[in-house]
Structure 1
Amino acid sequence: MPAPPAVPPVEFDYEDDRIPTGAKEKVRRILACLKEVDALMEREQAPGFTQTDIRQMREQHLPKLVRSYIDIPPAHRSEIFRKTGKSASYVLEDSLDQMQAKIDEIMRNLAQHDLDAFTDNTRFIKERYTSSNPFD
């Protein structure tokens, strides 16, 4: 079965004045972390689903989430509060926090190889260069 056609990335200005300041800060952090994940995936073999998750997060999910917030007319944002008990900006920031948590998990998983390699190397150095002779 042929692969589904690639969905083009959603272009978006994350510095739009309609985005709350707190959300902008969270988006900046997410974008910076996504760059870090890209660098980690260059060095480490990441599972295909992880690569897909990161690409979709950057190209689709993040811009669509923020766009959907902006598209709510300000006069109707109170409806979100009536339905959820939380403001639209709170719901946006909470959703961004959930994305950040997933990115952090992916970064930890990718870094685990480096942590394991460092632990193995320090164990080797200790065994190789620590004298067992008490008279040294």
Structure 2
Amino acid sequence: MSNDLALHKSGLAAIASDGDNSYRAVQEKLGHFARTLDDLVVALENLHRTAHANARRAAGLATDIEHADLDPSHVAMTTAVAGALEDAAAQVDVLRESAQEVSGLAYTAKGVHARLYAGLNEVREGRRETTPKPGFLAD
């Protein structure tokens, strides 16, 4: 299983595509995908919180610079940074919502896949004879 997941610098795992489309492999891959997205949602929540906090700090710093009667260009630049951080936080939140939605869809797909193919897999695994691979009998 360690070959299926590659840990990235972010700490999130990527799912390897190994061409194994057996019932159990697909169930495993869908589960890994959904759990990885769940981890991503948590990471994005933390990033959103941090970006929002940094935006508030930058806005406060801009106010402090203005009250210190420093160069107005510094106030403008610091205010621009605060705005950019707020915009980034908003976009991270949009991405988090998307990741959460896709995670839910992955869990749904796993359940539908199980409902459709678990019985077939049970029959196939219970046979002593090997079953032809998909496409074997196709024209």
TM-score, with structure 1 as normaliser? 0.38
Higher relative contact order (CA 8 A, sep 6+): 1
Task: Choose 1 or 2 for highest CA Rg.
Answer: 2
Determine which structure has the larger strand proportion and give its number.
2
